[in-house]
Amino acid sequence: MSLTHLDAAGRPAMVDVSGKQATARAALAQARLRFPADVAEALRGQGMRSAKGPVVDTAIVAGTLAVKRTHELIPFCHPLPIDGCRFTIDWADARTLCIDCQVRTTHRTGVEMEALTGVSVAALTVYDMCKALTHAIAIGPVKLLGKRGGKRDVGEVG
């Protein structure tokens, strides 16, 4: 097993994907935010609005922008055409907000980093919009649920 972002001399390098075939690729990532019970109840009672505005809608917009700009944030990510980006944000239980991001492209490399970046920024946006209520918001885990396309499929993409 070896790291793909190192050249023969062990120096950092972007992976050359020019020899790969462009295929349909998809990835699904998830982030969870855990709120104190009273804050979660208050947010639900306010229709997920804070003093800064609609929490869920703003998180979706921020996450989508992050997906499209992942290559500007993560040094060895390739700029990719994003064919689709969908967020699902809902309560997993009384205190845990679950954010899913599914990203699709047809390209020579996958979109796992885009999906992970999207849910991370969406989660940070929720935190930012709700921190006036409490700083006791825990973010995590952030994880890849699945990817399709490329050398191997992993998990479920949906």
* Sign of the CA dihedral with 74 first, then 85, 116, and 127 last: positive
The closest of 54, 58, 49 to 122, measured between CA atoms, is 58
Residues in the chain, overall count: 158
**Phi/psi at 141 (5° precision):** -75, 160
Query: CA 62, CA 123: separation in Å to the nearest integer?
Result: 9
Active site residue 128: yes
**Phi/psi at 102 (5° precision):** -110, 130
Of 7, 93, 100, 128, which one is the catalytic site residue? 128
Query: CA 120, CA 122: separation in Å to the nearest integer?
Result: 5
Residues acting as catalytic residues: 128
